[in-house]
């Protein structure tokens, strides 16, 4: 036993799967401790805030200021200040004045502004423009000039109908984000409800893993029990169990899941109930494979000797059959867990998963992202990390399984 | 061997009446054991000889109560065998124990050798003996088959050679001392020298305890060497049976004659012509 575990850790596949799985598990456990909070709290007003660090503007204004004169700060500001439509308007003016601006790169905002400063007045004079167009251009120019000049903002407060100036913000004012009281990291932005996607994802991974575990335990337990009984006892018991197993496995389990979940109202469907249902519909293949393994074992002479020693049925199953299939059962369990997680995702995508707004699951997150067309509007953070998480969990479980297969099944050893 | 007691007339121990076992149905039907009749007596050393696939193991599994009988019946101590419930079956199994043909599948690979032997002591009612006494018994049983218990203790069966496994199975019988031993090629993996020693020990065991030994083999020479009675089996049928001397020295069935002629005779010269022929190939 000890040896087998040692061997497992010599299998690179098992180790890779194990490390990924443990990393996921630790994240699920540790993240809520480090960063407590309700994963379902709608922190954002509005949907799909982009991933990033959010600094409270309110707090920043009153935070102690530092002055910096970074040489490229203005350039950056200007570059960002000119929108595409501004650019078009500027170029339209030069065209109207028949000016040749081929010497500059029109996408380089700084060069464009320099050219604008040099030629604005002459262009306005020569070009034939409508009054409204001229007015728009004058506004644009004053905006550009203001940016260059170093416009300042005044922060005022109304006290008894009088406006009192609190502070002035100039271009060289900076605040250290560490000093701002409210800075929030949203590495994965928010979802359609304005919930912190990362926190929700980690909580959902935990719930989905629990669903997988419960479903896996039920499926493995039922499958093992029925498989052992059918395989070892044979006869009528075997016929009955095999009949039920065959009937159930003919119907695709997803169809069965859909029918069962459809018949239970949303309000009642919690993650645990979903896990129970998934487990109760997926034991058939464990039963079938355990049964066939037990049949080949029960005719082994060590089982015969055990019978001849007067051992009870229970003892023979527990000591002479179970140890031989234990490694196989562990492998089947791991596969059941991963297919349980996938089954939940499938069900939730169809809107038949656990009740929506009370618990997050990976499937529900996918479902909401789809309903709010996150995939067509480029809100990748709402669905891509979820897909990645599902992939990593099932991938790590399957990798562990393959590694075990290599250790337990000498025929596959290289 | 000369002063052997005659065991062939003792009280009836195990008998078969039209005993038949059929595997499969229809076109695939295979009659593995075909209406065989026999009477084994207490203390008798019986050999069942037949080539591979003749139905020897199938017959022994039926005698052990591990395989259902298709037709006929088995008499145990002169009366129809009753193994209709678990309790009666366990009682029957106290009297009959096997050594199976394949030693590799005879052990639970998860149990240590000690567990195998301790189980036997427990079966004989020695469960509560002090551990020193148990070790003494196990050591004795192992030395009976030329094994050293001290070297085996805390080892797993798969750490033994095939021959050692077979000998350990015989040590198990030594501890259990059943009334009937069904030994299915118990020494197939033991070297010729130890084989003779072990078989002599089995004979001694029989002499000491009056155990009936049903010895299954395809080696008719070996059967002649040790048994009182020989049954020759061909395609599920007993084609010839009788006292060892009668069967071997005066065979009636063609099959028996063939088996006897197939026994290699060491004193005969090699046929040089065939050797040369093989070399030129
Ligand atoms: N469980 C089974 N199902 C179907 N056929 C079987 C089964 N066990 C044995 N047989 C068949 O019964 C026949 C007798 O087999 P058995 O094992 O009794 O031979 P054997 O005399 O012990 O041979 P060997 O010397 O090789 O051990 C064979 O043709 C075999 O194919
Ligand atoms: Mg055989």
Name the residues around ion ligand 2, CB cutoff 5 A: B 57, 101
* CA A148 – CA A82 distance, rounded (Å): 12
Residue A24 contacts residue A31 (beta carbons within 8 Å): no
A308 contact B CB<8A: yes
Q: In this predicted structure, what is the pLDDT of residue B281?
A: 44
pLDDT in tens, A45-66: 888 999 999 999 888 888 888 9
Give the number of other CB atoms < 10 A from CB of residue A102: 7
Helix (H) or strand (E) holding A157: strand A153-159
Kindly report the average pLDDT of chain A as a whole number: 87
pLDDT band at B201 (very low <50, low <70, confident <90, very high): confident
The ligand 1 site (C-beta within 6 Å) comprises B 23, 30, 32, 50, 52-58, 101, 218
Averaged over A292-311, what is the pLDDT?
92
User: What class, spelled out in words, does domain A2-46+192-412 have in CATH?
Assistant: mainly alpha
For residue A115, CA distances in Å to A41, A65, A136, B232 come to 51, 35, 18, 116
Residue B48 has pLDDT above 90, yes or no: yes
Residue with tokens 């591990």: B66
- Complex ipTM: 0.88
Question: Taking 80 as the threshold, does the pLDDT of residue A150 lie above it?
Answer: no
With a cut of 70, say whether residue B222 has pLDDT above it: yes
- Residue B147 is assigned to a structural domain of this protein: no
pLDDT given at position A190: 92
Model confidence at B266: pLDDT above 60: no
For A275-288, what is the mean pLDDT? 92
Q: Looking at residue A353, what is its pLDDT?
A: 83
Enumerate the domain spans of chain A. 2-46+192-412, 52-68+151-186, 73-145
CB atoms within 10 A of CB B264: 6
Confidence of residue B6 (pLDDT cuts 50, 70, 90): confident
Q: Identify the domain containing residue B263 by its residue range.
A: 12-106+178-274
Q: Pick the residue of B108, B115, B183 with the most A CBs within 10 A to test the interface with A by mutation.
A: B108
pLDDT at A109: 77
CB contacts, 8 Å: A308 with chain B = 64, 66, 93, 97-98
B208 band by pLDDT with thresholds 50, 70 and 90: confident
Point out the least confidently predicted range of A349-358, B73-82, B84-93. A349-358
Cα–Cα nearest to A363, from A255, A278, A285 = A278
CA distance A196 to A35: 12
pTM equals 0.80
Of B180 and A411, which is predicted with more confidence?
A: B180
Q: Is A314 exposed, middle or buried (0-12, 13-18, 19+ CB in 10 A)?
A: exposed
- Asked if B48 and B71 touch (Cβ cutoff 8 Å), the reply is no
pLDDT bin (cut points 50, 70, 90) of residue A386 is: very high
* The pLDDT of residue A393 is above 90: yes
Among the residue ranges A127-136, A373-382, B122-131, B228-237, the one predicted with the least confidence is A127-136
pLDDT of residue A412: 58
Q: How many domains does chain B have?
A: 1
DSSP A123: H
Mean pLDDT (whole number) for B207-230: 91
Q: What is the pLDDT of residue B259?
A: 85
Kindly determine whether residue A305 and residue B98, on different chains, have CB atoms separated by under 8 Å.
yes
In this predicted model, what pLDDT tens digit does every residue of A222-232 receive, in sequence order?
A: 999 999 999 99
**Test the B interface: residue of A307, A308, A325, A408 with most B CBs within 10 Å:** A308
C-alpha to C-alpha distance for A306 and A302, rounded to whole angstroms? 6
Mapped to the 3 state alphabet, what secondary structure does chain B carry?
Answer: CCCCCCCCCCCEEEEEEEEEEEECCHHHCEEEEEEEEEEEECCCEEEEEECCCCCHHHHHHHHHCCCCCCEEEEEECCEECCCCCHHHHHHHHHHEEEECCCHHHCCCCCCCHHHHHHHHHHHCCCCCCCHHHHHHHHHHHHHHCCCCHHHHCCCCHHHCCHHHHHHHHHHHHHHHCCCEEEEECCCCCCCHHHHHHHHHHHHHHHHHHCCEEEEEECCHHHHHHHCCEEEEEECCEEEEEEEHHHHHHCCCCHHHHHHHHHCCCCCCCCCHHHHHHHHHC
Q: What value does the mean pLDDT take over residues A372-396?
A: 92
Cα gap B56→B140, rounded to integer Å: 31
Query: How much is the pLDDT for B100?
Result: 93
- Interhelix angle B113-123/B162-176, nearest 10 degrees: 20
For B102-141, the pLDDT digits (tens) are: 999 999 988 889 999 999 999 888 889 999 999 999 999 9
* φ, ψ at B71 (rounded to 5°): -155, 155
In the predicted structure, residue B17 carries a pLDDT above the cut 50:
yes
Higher per-residue confidence, B2 vs A339: A339
Residues in chain B: 281
Q: Which comes out higher in pLDDT, residue A92 or B49?
A: B49
Determine, for residues A307 and B93 on separate chains, whether the beta-carbon distance falls below 8 Å.
yes
Chain B residues near residue A322 by CB distance under 8 angstroms: none
Residue B3's pLDDT is: 53
Q: Is residue B251 part of a domain?
A: yes
Q: Which residues pair with A157 in a beta bridge?
A: A164
The interaxial angle of helices A384-408 and A362-371, nearest 10 deg, is 150
Cβ-Cβ contacts under 8 Å, B66 against chain A: 304, 307-308
pLDDT value for A411: 59
Distance CA A102, CA A17 (A): 59
Which tokens hold the place of A159? 């006290």
Provide the CB-side half-sphere exposure for A162 (13 A, CA).
4
Query: Which of B23, B219, B235, B236 to probe ligand 1 with, by most ligand atoms within 8 A of CB?
Result: B23
Does the pLDDT value for residue A366 go beyond 60?
yes
Residue A323: list chain B partners with CB under 8 A. Answer: 108, 110
Terminal Cα distance for chain B, rounded: 46
CATH number at residue B85: 3.40.50.300
């Amino acid at each position: 036993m000890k040896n087998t575990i040692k061997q497992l850790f010599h299998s690179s596949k098992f180790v890779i799967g194990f490390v990924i799985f443990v990393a996921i598990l630790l994240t699920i456990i540790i993240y809520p401790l480090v960063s407590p909070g309700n994963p379902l709290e709608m922190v954002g007003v509005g949907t799909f805030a982009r991933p990033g660090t959010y600094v409270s503007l309110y707090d920043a204004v009153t935070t102690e200021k530092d002055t910096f004169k970074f040489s490229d700060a203005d350039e950056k500001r200007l570059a960002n200040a000119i929108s595409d439509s501004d650019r078009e308007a500027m170029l339209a003016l030069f065209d109207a004045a028949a000016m040749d601006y081929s010497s500059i790169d029109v996408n380089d905002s700084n060069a464009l502004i320099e050219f604008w400063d040099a030629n604005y007045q002459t262009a306005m004079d020569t070009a034939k423009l409508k009054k409204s167009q001229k007015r728009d251009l004058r506004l644009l120019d004053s905006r550009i000039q203001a940016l260059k000049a170093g416009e300042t903002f005044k922060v005022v407060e109304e006290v008894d109908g009088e406006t009192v100036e609190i502070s002035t913000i100039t271009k060289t004012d900076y605040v250290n984000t560490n000093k701002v009281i409210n800075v929030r990291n949203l590495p994965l932005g928010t979802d359609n409800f304005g919930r912190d996607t990362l926190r929700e994802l980690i909580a959902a991974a935990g719930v989905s893993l629990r669903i997988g575990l419960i479903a896996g335990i039920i499926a493995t337990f039922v499958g093992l029990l029925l498989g052992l009984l059918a395989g070892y006892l044979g006869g009528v018991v075997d016929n009955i169990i095999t009949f039920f197993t065959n009937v159930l496995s003919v119907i695709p389990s997803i169809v069965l899941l859909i029918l069962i979940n459809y018949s239970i109202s949303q309000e009642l469907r919690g993650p645990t109930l979903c896990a129970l249902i998934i487990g109760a519909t997926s034991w058939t293949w464990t039963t079938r494979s355990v049964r066939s393994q037990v049949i080949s074992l029960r005719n082994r002479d060590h089982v015969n000797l055990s019978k001849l020693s007067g051992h009870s049925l229970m003892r023979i199953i527990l000591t002479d059959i179970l140890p031989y299939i234990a490694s196989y059962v562990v492998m089947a369990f791991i596969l059941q867990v991963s297919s349980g997680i996938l089954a939940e995702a499938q069900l939730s995508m169809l809107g038949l998963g656990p009740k929506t707004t009370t618990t997050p699951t990976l499937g529900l997150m996918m479902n909401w992202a789809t309903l709010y067309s996150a995939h067509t509007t480029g809100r990748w953070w709402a669905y891509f990390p979820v897909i990645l998480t599902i992939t990593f969990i099932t991938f790590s479980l399957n990798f562990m399984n393959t590694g075990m297969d290599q250790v337990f099944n000498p025929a596959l050893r290289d | 061997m000369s002063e052997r007691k005659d065991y062939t007339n003792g009280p009836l121990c195990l008998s078969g009446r039209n005993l038949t076992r059929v595997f499969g149905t229809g076109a695939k039907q295979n009659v593995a054991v075909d209406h065989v009749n026999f009477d084994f007596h207490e203390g008798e050393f019986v050999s069942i000889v037949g080539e591979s696939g003749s139905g020897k193991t199938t017959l022994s599994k039926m005698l052990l109560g591990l395989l259902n009988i298709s037709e006929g019946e088995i008499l145990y101590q002169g009366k129809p065998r009753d193994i209709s419930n678990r309790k009666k079956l366990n009682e029957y199994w106290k009297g009959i124990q096997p050594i199976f043909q394949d030693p590799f599948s005879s052990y639970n690979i998860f149990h240590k050798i000690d567990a195998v032997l301790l189980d036997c002591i427990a079966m004989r009612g020695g469960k509560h003996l002090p551990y020193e006494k148990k070790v003494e018994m196990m050591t004795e049983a192992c030395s009976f088959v030329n094994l050293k218990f001290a070297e085996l203790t805390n080892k797993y069966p798969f750490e033994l050679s095939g021959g050692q496994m077979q000998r350990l199975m015989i040590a198990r019988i030594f501890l259990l001392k059943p009334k009937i031993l069904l030994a299915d090629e118990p020494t197939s993996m033991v070297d010729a020298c130890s084989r003779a020693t072990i078989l002599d020990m089995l004979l001694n065991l029989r002499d000491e305890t009056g155990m009936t030994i049903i010895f299954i083999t395809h080696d008719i020479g070996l059967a002649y060497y040790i048994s009182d009675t020989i049954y020759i089996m061909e395609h599920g049928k007993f084609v010839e049976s009788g006292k060892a001397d009668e069967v071997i020295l005066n065979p009636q069935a063609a099959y028996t004659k063939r088996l006897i002629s197939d026994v290699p005779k060491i004193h005969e010269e090699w046929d040089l012509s065939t050797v040369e022929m093989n070399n030129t190939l």
